[in-house]
């Protein structure tokens, strides 16, 4: 999604060799996919090699809003339908899962935060209300962005979140969603953080798609910066959140074939920020993922593909599972 404020500066560029060694030590299997992509110099659509030079960043990524794009249209027919949560686990009754207490992730709690709510378009006064995010005050939420055809970020994030939930439940995890489009608008970014905190989640992932300039392609994972201001204190979650983010990024490359962002993160697929309430106010390991740029024709072709969205969910699930099994 995109913002009406400029993003925090990207972290200082480090040696590609040092980064490769560090992440490969954490996720050798997942990062192998990243290295294969780099070696071939291509992307999943058979296009030219990525641009490794620094590009102008988008208006931003995460919780805010730049240009929202066309008005939302009905969700595609291949999108999962929201369903009533089962007690203690926000899963659809039809989701396959192990017997209670079984599976490699049994006893683990994962919170999935689908970015934005499709009803936000009709509740601009409510979502423009400012909330305290520790470092400053920021809008409760935004509408998110959309592709030129009208496919909205909120539709995309709802679909991928439900796919991810099903995959994690199959491994025995207890999965909670911050919302399932079951409310008129919101929740606000501070409430989204509090949902993960109250659940004492072992991992939280907030799912988004960006709204950047044409030609800006690829995904990036946003990590919390060290923040200790007001009600925000990320001291204890910075390190585990980075571990989570690196695992998600490596597995996302491996399963989707998509490249790390060519406009943020110095080609690492990782970006550190201190201006997102969802991260600042979290007391449990949490990352954001921007899965692609909805304004680029090649990226939106992926984001609107049910097959690719399933791969995206699998990559996130593999990264989260690896983090929880470490």
Question: How many angstroms separate the CA atoms of 262 and 38, rounded?
Answer: 13
Identified catalytic residue from 63, 153, 290, 307: 290
Rounded distance, CA 62 to CA 282, Å? 15
| Residue 201 CB contacts under 8 Å (≥ 6 apart), including other chains | 109, 110, 111, 176, 284, 285, 286
Q: 323, 305, 204: which is closest to 256 by C-alpha?
A: 305
Helix (H) or strand (E) holding 270, with range, is strand 270-273
| d(C-alpha 11, C-alpha 221), whole Å | 13
Q: Which residues pair with 205 in a beta bridge?
A: 112, 287
Would you give the distance in Å from CA 56 to the centre of its chain? 21
Q: How far apart are CA 186 and CA 165, in angstroms?
A: 20
Which domains does the chain carry? 16-49+63-73+100-324 (3.40.630.40)
Exposed/middle/buried for residue 238 (C-beta within 10 Å: 0-12, 13-18, 19+): middle
307 is catalytic: no
Q: What is the pLDDT of residue 99?
A: 73
Q: How far is CA 14 from the centre of its chain?
A: 23
Question: Are the C-beta atoms of residues 222 and 271 closer than 8 Å to each other?
Answer: yes
Q: What is the DSSP string of 197-243?
A: HHTT-SEEEEEEEE---TT---BEEEEE---EETTEE-TTTHHHHHH
DSSP state of 262: S
What is residue 132's predicted lDDT score, i.e. its pLDDT? Answer: 96
* Strand positions, DSSP E, 14-162: 109-114, 130-132, 137-139
CB neighbours of 89 closer than 8 A, spacing ≥ 6?
A: 169, 174, 175, 176
Is the previous residue joined to 198 through a cis bond, with omega within 30 degrees of 0?
no
pLDDT tens series, the chain, 326 aa: 433 333 434 343 344 334 333 333 444 444 444 443 443 344 333 333 333 333 333 334 456 433 444 444 444 444 444 444 444 465 554 466 777 678 999 999 999 999 999 999 999 999 999 999 999 999 999 999 999 999 999 999 999 999 999 999 999 999 999 999 789 999 999 999 999 999 999 999 999 999 999 999 999 999 999 999 999 999 999 999 999 999 999 999 999 999 999 999 999 999 999 999 999 999 999 999 999 999 999 999 999 999 999 999 999 999 999 999 99
Distance of CA 33 to the CA centre of its chain: 19
CB 163 within 8 A of CB 93: no
């Amino acid at each position: 999604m995109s913002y009406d404020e400029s993003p925090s500066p990207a972290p200082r560029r480090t040696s590609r060799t040092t980064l490769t060694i560090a992440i490969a030590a954490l996720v050798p299997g997942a990062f192998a996919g990243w290295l294969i992509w780099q070696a071939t110099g291509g992307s999943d659509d058979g296009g030219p090699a990525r641009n490794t030079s620094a590009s102008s960043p988008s208006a931003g990524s995460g919780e805010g809003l730049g240009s929202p794009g066309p008005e939302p249209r009905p969700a595609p027919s291949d999108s999962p339908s929201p369903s009533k949560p089962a007690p203690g686990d926000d899963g659809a009754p039809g989701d396959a899962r192990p017997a209670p207490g079984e599976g490699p992730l049994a006893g683990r709690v994962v919170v999935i935060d689908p970015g934005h709510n499709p009803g936000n378009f009709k509740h601009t006064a409510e979502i423009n209300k400012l909330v305290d995010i520790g470092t400053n005050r920021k809008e409760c939420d935004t509408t998110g962005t959309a592709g030129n055809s009208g496919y909205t970020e909120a539709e995309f994030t709802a679909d991928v979140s439900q796919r991810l939930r099903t995959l994690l439940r199959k491994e025995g995890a207890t999965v909670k969603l911050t919302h399932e489009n079951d409310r008129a608008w919101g929740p606000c970014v501070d409430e989204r953080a509090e949902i993960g905190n109250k659940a004492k989640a072992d991992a939280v992932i907030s799912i988004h798609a960006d709204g950047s300039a044409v030609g800006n392609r690829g995904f990036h994972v946003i990590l919390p910066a060290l923040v200790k201001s007001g009600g925000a204190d990320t001291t204890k979650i910075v390190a585990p959140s980075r571990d989570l983010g690196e695992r998600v990024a490596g597995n996302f490359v491996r399963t989707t074939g998509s490249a790390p962002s060519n406009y943020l993160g110095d080609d690492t697929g990782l970006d550190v920020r201190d201006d997102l309430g969802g991260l600042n106010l979290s007391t449990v390991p949490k990352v954001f993922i921007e899965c692609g740029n909805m304004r680029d024709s090649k990226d939106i072709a992926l984001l609107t593909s049910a097959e690719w969205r399933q791969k995206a969910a699998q990559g996130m699930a593999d990264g989260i599972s690896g983090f929880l099994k470490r």
